[in-house]
Every structure is written in C-alpha cells, then in structure tokens.
Structure 1
Amino acid sequence: MTLVDTNVLLDLVTGDPVWADWSIEQLENASLRGPLLINDIIYAELAVRYDRIEDLDAFIDAAHLVLTPVPRAALFLAGKVFTQYRRAGGSRTGMLPDFLIGAQAAVQKIPVMTRDIGRYRSYFPTVKLITPDR
C-alpha cells in the first residue's frame, strides 16, 4: 500500500513537463507492491482541477486509486502534531492537509509518495517517504 499525495497526482492531471515522468514511474512501481491509496483530503484537493465529480471519479478509476477514509486515530494525531507546529512558530492557523495525510500514514504505517517533503520529515519522522531525492 502507498498513500499518494496530491502533488504527484496533479503531475499526471496537468502533464507537468518536469515531474510527470517521475510520478508515472513511481506510481507504476508502487502499484506492483500494493494498492495506491488516496484519502478524503487528497480527493478534495484533486477536485479543484475538475468541473464535474464524474470526471474526477473517472480519473481515480483510470489511475486505479483506492479512496480510503482517514482513521479517527490519525485525525487525533494530526491535531496534536499541528499543535506542535503552531508552538514551533508555524504561521498557518488552519489545519494543513499534510498533517492529515502524514498522520494517516503514521497511524496505518504506510509510505507516502510525495514531492512535498518538509512537513512529513519534520513532523512524521517514522513515515517512509517515496520522493524524488530517494
């Protein structure tokens, strides 16, 4: 299983000239090891790029992504880690999606495929990351 961050999927959706090839290769490799997961937060972030829910759902089906809910324990952990972030001087006052995604990966012990490394490494050091620097 691999939890796929929004930025990797947007590389496909937008045909990003810099990152699309890397993202496609990583998705193909990860799919050989198990299901490619997204959660409700990633779904909502992807929805920004689509006019119709049917089109987003068609992309999810074509990419063989599995929508999985964020467990309650991960929601709690995300809140606690976000509190640490704010106490450390973090500037955002609203819950950042990375905390919800990272907490789910930590609780369920699954890797995250992402190009947005900073918060995951800082606040979820036990989560295995699949990133361009690996």
Structure 2
Amino acid sequence: MAIILIDTCVITDLADTNSAWFEWSAATLERLDQNNTMVINPIIYAECSVGFERIEEVEALFEHLNFAIKPMPKEALFLAGKVFLQYKKRKGGKTNVLPDFFIGAHAAIANYQLMTRDKGRFSSYFPSINLIMPGSPTELN
C-alpha cells in the first residue's frame, strides 16, 4: 500500500463539480483509493482553506475525503528551501512557487507518490517523485 500526497489542484477539482478536471480527479482517486492511503500536508491544507469561510467547512471536506494530514519533516523543509534557491538562481520569475516546493519536497523526502495536474516544477525539481497525473503511466494503470 503506497501513500499518495494529493496536490491542492486535485482537491479544488473535487470541491467544484463544474471543474473541467472534476471527472478525472474523482475517477482517479476512486481507482487509487482501494490500494493506497491518501494524505495532504499543512501547506495543502492552507492553500485549500482559501476557498472557505470557516475552518469547519475545510475540516468537513477533508473528513469527507478521508485524507489524513501528515506533518512535514525538517528534511523536506530544508530541501524546499534549497530547491527554491535553485529556482531563483535560474531567474524563476513567479513569486507564488514556494508552496509547490514544499509539496514536492515533502513527497520526495517521504517517498510519497504525488497526484497533481501541475507537472512543470515537480518534474523539473523533484525528478524522483512518481507523479500521478493525466496521461501518466501511473494514471493509466
């Protein structure tokens, strides 16, 4: 049984049945749920909370999805900082990337798979992560 870290974009898909990616996210989670444990981390929790007025709503969502919150090890925090520094040295221009580096570092250090639709930074900066995304070999199994 593998542990799969669920990225924020997948959760926002699930929270909006009108999302263009709702069907993919729901079907993929349903298929993977039988043999895996789905988790989030504090960064994903914080990003998801933006769409809700009250903490009880966020709690209800994660309880319904049955996603546990895993703490981030210090090694992942350290790696996220180092990868962010690489990004800045490469003249990365976006300012909102640090959460992705926390998420990617957590998956890499904990040896979790990562379900996401955002291939770019995860595949570039964390090539060891097994990404579950539309069209990936893991997604097609």
TM-score w.r.t. the length of structure 1 is 0.95
In structure 2, the partner of 1:24 is: 26
Q: How many residues are paired up?
A: 134
Could you say if the C-alpha distance between residues 21 and 95 of structure 1 is closer, same or farther in structure 2, counting changes exceeding 3 Å? closer
SS at structure 1 position matched to 2:112? coil
Q: What residue ranges of structure 2 are gaps of 5+ in the alignment?
A: 137-141
Question: RMSD of aligned C-alpha atoms?
Answer: 1.2
Could you say if the C-alpha distance between residues 13 and 94 of structure 1 is closer, same or farther in structure 2, counting changes exceeding 3 Å? closer
Code of the residue aligned with 2:15 in structure 1: it is V
Could you say if the C-alpha distance between residues 50 and 94 of structure 1 is closer, same or farther in structure 2, counting changes exceeding 3 Å? closer
Equivalent runs, 1:90-109 vs 2, <5 Å: 90-93=92-95, 96-109=98-111
C-alpha separation in 2, matches of 1:94 and 1:130: 22
> Which of 50, 53, 67 is residue 48 of structure 1 equivalent to?
50
Q: 4+ residue runs of structure 1 moved beyond 6 angstroms?
A: none
TM-score w.r.t. the length of structure 2 is 0.90
Cα pair 1:86 1:92 within 8 Å, conserved: no
Q: What residue ranges of structure 1 are gaps of 5+ in the alignment?
A: none
C-alpha separation in 1, matches of 2:18 and 2:25: 10
Percent identity between the two aligned chains:
45
In structure 2, the partner of 1:86 is: 88
After superposition, what is the alpha-carbon deviation per residue over 1:66-122, rounded to whole angstroms, capped at 9, x for unaligned? 111111100000001111111111113566211000000000111100001100000
Equivalent runs, 1:50-89 vs 2, <5 Å: 50-89=52-91
Equivalent runs, 1:115-134 vs 2, <5 Å: 115-134=117-136
